[in-house]
Amino acid sequence: MRFLFKTDYDQDIRLFKHGGQVFWYGLLMALLLTAPFTVGEYVMSQLHFIFIYSIVGLGLMLLVGFTGQISLGHAAFLAVGAYTEALLQAKGVPVFISLPCAALFSAAAGLIVGLPALRLKGIYLAIATLAFNVIVEEVITRWEGLTGGNSGLHVKPVELFGVKLDGDAGFFYLCLGLTVLSILALMNLLRSPTGRAFVAIRDSEISASCMGVNLAKYKTLAFAISAALTGIGGALYAHKVSFISPEQFTLLQSIELITIVILGGVGFLHGAVLGAAFLIVLPQLISLAKDYLPANVGSSGLQAVVFGLVLIGFIIFEPLGLYGRWLKLRTWFELFPFYRKGMFRRQKSYMKSERLR
């Protein structure tokens, strides 16, 4: 167990709290930077997806985990980002302009969704975002002149300063860089007044407004930032899969995106990345397992069943998600042999109602 003796306010706000963190994150970074030379094409491709979903997960984490707003419509922001990127790129706009545009357009869509969030809470907000998702999907399907409708759009690889990033390595560094930047930006935000205002809104809206937090402004801001990150993820996604069509951005996609947050651990930035990795790796494991199962069990339904069971299992047995599990493991080792059960148990709030009576 490590004890930190604080002698300076700066110690509370620096990103790395102690040398150990610098070392481990440094090591991880070094491994990732050399990855294109050490891992195969297949793993590389999976890493692309992990980073893309990490960026989206980070956006959702800010909204769900830190601001306490529910969104069942994030696939719509993903779509806005993907289509913006695809269309601008087709017009020959360079990526360092089109990528910010994708973020900006998504953020604008986020503002639009954020507006009802000012009046709606909980389940009503969930349905509003869900409705938004369905409507965006339908608009994309019907606006054939722009989006190609159901026949979709082809997207070319990224081109940066005349260099085509179609090789695995180039695109990998782009995704990695954007993921790291997103994490840093959110960490900065969370150690500043804005991030604290988000958390305040999550824990008690009334109290937040009595402390001078403008609920309207910060809720829409949370939606906008979350959507912007999702838009960047969408743009990268478009490049990665090189073909986009409306059925990639349905409600089911939104729900899958939300599970990143739940599986990773609500309220931890690490959780977004871990959840994304898990979401990408799980289907691979399932398809591996399929070979050993009888035919009717190994059918297309297997993935849904496993996915559902994993979700249920996590919520019942590990509500803090993968990151929570890791925290517990770490504490166990640090305190060995003094760890006791229930150190992380949260107080249950029986029927803490949203309705009033």
Partner 1 sequence: MSFFRVENLGIHFGGVVAVDDVSFEVKRGEVYTIIGPNGAGKTTIFNLIGLLYPATAGRIFLEDKPLAGSVPHRVAQLGIARTFQNIELFEHATVLQNLLIGRHRHRAASLWQELLFTPAARRAELAAREAVEQVIDFLDLAKYRDSLVAGLPYGVRKVVELGRALATEPRLLLLDEPSSGLNPEETDDMAFWIEDIRRHLAVTVLMVEHDMNLVARVSDRVLALNLGMVIAEGTPAEVQAHPAVIEAYLGKAA
Partner 2 sequence: MNQVLQLLLAGVAQGCVYALVALGFVLIYKATETVNFAQGDLMMLGGFFALTSSVILGWPYWATILFAVAAMAVVGMLIERLVLRPVLGQPAFTVVMITIGVGYVLRGAVTMMPGWGTDTYTLPTPFSEGVFKVGEVIFAVQQVAVICMTAALCALLYLFFRFSRLGVAMQATSQNQLAAAYVGIPVRRVNMMIWGLSAGVAAFAGILLAPMTFVHSNMGFIGLKAFPAAVVGGFGSVPGAIVGGLIIGVVEAFAGRYLPEGFKDVAAYVVVLVVLLLKPSGIFGETARKKV
* Cα–Cα distance measured from residue 193 to residue 211, given in angstroms and rounded to the nearest whole number: 12
Does residue number 276 form part of the binding site for partner 2 (CB under 8 A)?
no
Beta-carbon-side half-sphere exposure of residue 285 (alpha carbons within 13 Å): 9
Does residue number 262 form part of the binding site for partner 2 (CB under 8 A)?
yes
x-or-dash string of contact with partner 1, 214-253, rule CB under 8 A: xx-----x--------------------------------
Does residue number 82 form part of the binding site for partner 1 (CB under 8 A)?
no
In whole angstroms, the minimum distance from the beta carbon of 90 to partner 1 comes to 30
Instruction: Please give the DSSP secondary-structure letter assigned to residue 250.
Output: S
Stretch that binds partner 1, among 129-137, 207-215, 244-252, 331-339 (CB under 8 A): 207-215
The three-state secondary structure class of 260 is helix
Q: Which amino acid is at 312?
A: I
- Residue 277's H or E segment, with its range, is helix 269-290
In whole angstroms, the minimum distance from the beta carbon of 189 to partner 2 comes to 22
Does residue number 10 form part of the binding site for partner 1 (CB under 8 A)?
yes
* Cα–Cα distance measured from residue 38 to residue 207, given in angstroms and rounded to the nearest whole number: 52
Alpha-carbon distance values, 321 to 55, 269, 317 (Å): 18, 12, 9
Does residue number 103 form part of the binding site for partner 1 (CB under 8 A)?
no
* Cα–Cα distance measured from residue 355 to residue 357, given in angstroms and rounded to the nearest whole number: 7
* Bond before 100 cis per omega within 30 degrees: no
Does residue number 206 form part of the binding site for partner 2 (CB under 8 A)?
yes
Instruction: CB nearer to partner 2: give 216 or 306.
Output: 306
In whole angstroms, the minimum distance from the beta carbon of 9 to partner 1 comes to 4
Does residue number 285 form part of the binding site for partner 2 (CB under 8 A)?
no
Picking from 189, 186, 216, the residue whose alpha carbon sits closest to that of residue 201 is 216
Size of interface with partner 1, in residues (CB under 8 A): 33
What lies within 8 Å, CB to CB, of 115 at 6+ separation is 220
Write out the binding residues for partner 1, residues 166-205 only, by CB under 8 A. 185, 188-189, 191-197, 199-200, 202-204
User: Which residue in 308, 330, 333, 344 binds partner 2 (CB under 8 A)?
Assistant: 308
Does residue number 255 form part of the binding site for partner 2 (CB under 8 A)?
yes
The three-state secondary structure class of 331 is helix
- Residue 154's H or E segment, with its range, is strand 153-154
In whole angstroms, the minimum distance from the beta carbon of 210 to partner 2 comes to 9
Residues that bind partner 1 (CB under 8 A): 9-10, 12-13, 185, 188-189, 191-197, 199-200, 202-204, 206-215, 221, 267, 346-347
